[in-house]
Amino acid sequence: MKTKVFVYPYKLKGDNFCIEHSIRMVRKYYSGAEIVTIGDRCGFEDVNIPFKDSFKDRGSNVTAKCLQSAFIYDSFIYMNDDFFINDRYDLNITHGSLHDLERKDRASANWNTATTNTMHWLKYNGHTIRSFECHQPVVFDSKRLIDLMSQIEWKENPHFIKSLYFNVHVPIRFQPIDNTKLIKFDKKRASSLLSIHGCLSIGGDFLNVSGADYIKKLT
């Protein structure tokens, strides 16, 4: 992939703080990157592809946006608006968990349903069920993504697109990564994730005054 295309399936909620600084950080460490939002426009991207959500399930809307991107780009880096990466994050390696997908008592009903649906499809079709749900960017090959999702009834069924894709298309270069999501601001842990993995994802409670200031200083 010559020009690194970073695609954000995006739906505006409140303000653009997270995606603005996520994009600023990409530009800081990946010169020449093309920044694309699909869905709502944020004003900091190079390209916006308008796309309206049409499904009840959030994950299904994200998949629809990824597939729309796949019809335009040969390959792309899938991003969320709350992903922050630096040059320690190697996009030539696929990052994921060493562990398999599993339901969790403390997870939401939707998360557990997505887990069950993803596991059932992978097991039925003879694939591994390793989890790639670590809140990290991944690189999708568009032709492979389109072909895979054409085999799956994803539109009304919660699912995990990353775990589906990478258990079918097993990465040649794989590196385990911690779950990079921090719900609450923890400066020491955030700095550790960025230092070790080059990746940080944040939850809503992260952005108190100190957390917001921390993110601003990254970019």
List the CATH number of the domain containing 145: 3.90.550
Residue 3: pLDDT band (50, 70, 90) is: confident
Q: What percent of the chain has pLDDT over 70?
A: 99
Cα 7 vs. chain centroid, distance in angstroms? 9
Asked if residue 81 lies in contact with residue 143, where contact means CB atoms within 8 angstroms, the answer is: no
Average model confidence (pLDDT) for the chain? 96
**What does the radius of gyration of the chain's CA atoms come to, in whole angstroms?**
17
Q: At what angle do helices 161-168 and 58-70 cross, to 10 degrees?
A: 50
Comparing CA positions, the residue from 85, 91, 119, 83 lying closest to residue 175 is 91
Q: Count Cα atoms within 13 angstroms, Cβ side, for 53.
A: 14
Total domain count, the chain: 1
CA distance 136 to 166: 13
Question: Does position 105 have pLDDT exceeding 90, yes or no?
Answer: no
Question: Does position 46 have pLDDT exceeding 80, yes or no?
Answer: yes
String of DSSP letters for 87-128: TTS-TTSEEE-SSBP---TTS-HHHHHHHHHHHHHHHHTT--
Question: Does position 88 have pLDDT exceeding 60, yes or no?
Answer: yes
pLDDT in tens, 188-207: 999 999 999 999 999 989 99
Question: Does position 45 have pLDDT exceeding 90, yes or no?
Answer: yes
Q: Quick one: pLDDT at residue 14?
A: 86
Question: Does position 48 have pLDDT exceeding 70, yes or no?
Answer: yes
One-letter identity of residue 212: A
pLDDT in tens, 124-181: 999 999 999 999 999 999 999 999 999 999 999 999 999 999 999 999 999 999 999 9
Q: Count Cα atoms within 13 angstroms, Cβ side, for 142.
A: 17
Which domain range does residue 198 map to?
Answer: 5-218
Question: Does position 182 have pLDDT exceeding 70, yes or no?
Answer: yes
DSSP state, residue 204: G
